[in-house]
Amino acid sequence: MRKAKITEDKPFRITLRLTQTQYDFLDDLSKVYGVNQSEMIRKLLDSFRCQQKGKEDGNE
C-alpha cells in the first residue's frame, strides 16, 4: 500500500484490478444502491466498518 498522508478531505486514489465476474457483481450492486462503482466500494467499506464497530460496542 502506498504511504501517504490521508485525510477525510483528501482521500487518495487506488487502482483496483477486478475480474469480469467481480466487476459485474460490483456493477449490479452499484445499481441497487444508486451509486457508481467507486462509491459502492466506499459504501461497502463504510458499512462493514460501522457494523464491525457496532459489534465491538455491543450494539448488534
Partner 1 sequence: MATSKNISTISYNTKEYLEDTLNRLIKEKKIQFWMYIKHDAEEDETKDHFHVFIQPNVLLDLLDLQYEFEEVNPANLNKPFRVMPFRHSDVDEWIPYALHDKGYLALKCESREYFYLKSDIVSSDEDYLDHLYRHAFKASKWAKDSALLNQIVSGELSPHELIDKGYVSMNMATQVNAYFYMKTHYGLDRNGRENHEGDF
Chain residues in the site for partner 1 (CB under 8 A):
8-9, 29, 32-35, 43-44, 46-51, 53-54, 57, 59
Task: Write down the least CB distance from residue 23 to partner 1, Å.
Answer: 16
Task: Write down the least CB distance from residue 27 to partner 1, Å.
Answer: 13
Which amino acid is it at 51? Answer: Q
Task: Write down the least CB distance from residue 56 to partner 1, Å.
Answer: 10
Grid coordinates standing for 36?
457508481
Alpha-carbon gap, residue 23 to 31, rounded angstroms: 12
Alpha-carbon gap, residue 39 to 41, rounded angstroms: 5
